[in-house]
Amino acid sequence: MTVYNFNAGPAILPAAVLEQAQNELRDYKGTGISILETSHRSKEYEAINSSAEQRFKQLLGLGDGYRVLFMQGGASSQFAFVPLNFLGPNAVADYILTGTWSVKAHAEAAKIGSATIAASTKADNFNRIPRGDEVTLSPDAAYVHITTNNTIFGTQWHTTPAVGDRPLVADMSSDILSRPLPADKYALIYAGAQKNLGPAGLTVVLIREDWMAQANPELPTMFKYATYAANNSLYNTPPAYAVYMLDLVLQWIEGQGGLEGMAKHNERKAGIIYSTIDESQGFYRGHALPDSRSLMNITFRLPTPELEQQFVADAKQQGMIGLKGHRSVGGIRASVYNAMPIAGAEALASFMRDWAAQHG
């Protein structure tokens, strides 16, 4: 039986990437040893490290002026890294709250300095992204923080918010490299790798160099972005195997037509599942409002929690795993990241139609 992995993270990886990693596991390019056993100071690893940085920037259409950093600690550590580096004593940072992760990011910043809520859709149980006229920015905000895709609630920004000259910071953990994006409008983008980029243990940070130069210089070495940039992320031992896997995933994305190709693929997949929800005559109820729907995490409810439990169990019998919604929202969540094939979305949609006919 084919297994389709709808886990939210760690999540599905492209089959071709796993095969290549398997083929190279015991003997990396004729060295006779595994990349798992290779020094991060070797020429083999340094080539991977610099290839991953270059490919990442190229996919986003960026050149000089930006750096890509390979860090650890997950997106959750970035919630503190950003204010530690950029939220000085007399400054204020603006946070737009669109779900659990942005609430956590804001709470960390508030421990370090002054962090305001520029907008929040909590009153609507985070079922949408705020409209431009709902956002109130501080005149001299140190930065504005958004979460581009809300993994738990299943909503996604479909535009880049207008923030004037204020530096824009985004947590893109669950939709990084899923679509084209005006990357040069961002001062800093961060993402835990385990959703769209590779295995857990790696956190990727894209940072504009002129902004990095303004960071707090007094921090401990490992808490400064500048340390990672000045040493090509090799100040200490990086998560080398995860960076190797990232480089393979980036090559796979290039082979799919880059970010344009990914966006077409992702729109088609999400469309297959959302149309099944919309055509179910109310049996499946989407959580997100249509204009805020995520192309990565599709959240919906069934008429009762008992039916939801049964749905998840029956889907698993058919090889579709990881469909249980996050404990804070309930219901069903289908995560359809870059690596999910069209066939996976079709299999789920067909299962949903049959299941609704039997239980509706």
Ligand X SMILES: *Cc1c(COP(=O)(O)O)cnc(C)c1O
Per the annotation, the verdict on 101 as an active-site residue is yes
Give the SS3 label for residue 26: coil
Q: The tokens of 351 are what?
A: 């299962």
Per the annotation, the verdict on 224 as an active-site residue is no
322: contact with ligand X by CB under 6 A: no
DSSP structural state of residue 302: -
The CA distances from residue 127 to 147, 149, 153, 290, 292, in Å, are 14, 12, 7, 9, 8
75: contact with ligand X by CB under 6 A: yes
Q: Which is nearer to ligand X, 195 or 324 (CB)?
A: 195
Q: Which of 49, 151, 276, 299 binds ligand X (CB under 6 A)?
A: 151
Q: Which of 20, 54, 72, 76 binds ligand X (CB under 6 A)?
A: 76
Q: Which is nearer to ligand X, 86 or 190 (CB)?
A: 190
DSSP structural state of residue 223: G
Residues 129-148 that bind ligand X (CB under 6 A): 147
How many angstroms separate the CA atoms of 249 and 251, rounded? 5
Q: The tokens of 114 are what?
A: 């002054």
C-alpha triplet 350, 174, 291: angle, nearest 5°: 65
DSSP structural state of residue 84: H
Give the SS3 label for residue 355: helix
The CA distances from residue 135 to 87, 116, 121, 151, in Å, are 20, 11, 11, 21
Instruction: Tell me which stretch binds ligand X (CB under 6 A): 74-82, 156-164, 310-318, 324-332.
Output: 74-82
Q: What would the x/- binding string for ligand X be over residues 85 to 104, using CB under 6 A?
A: ----------------x---
Q: What would the x/- binding string for ligand X be over residues 170 to 209, using CB under 6 A?
A: -x-xx-----------------x--x--------------
Catalytic residue among 94, 171, 175, 247: 171
Per the annotation, the verdict on 264 as an active-site residue is no
* Contact residues for ligand X, defined by CB under 6 A: 9, 74-76, 101, 147, 151, 171, 173-174, 192, 195
Please give the positions annotated as active site: 101, 171, 195
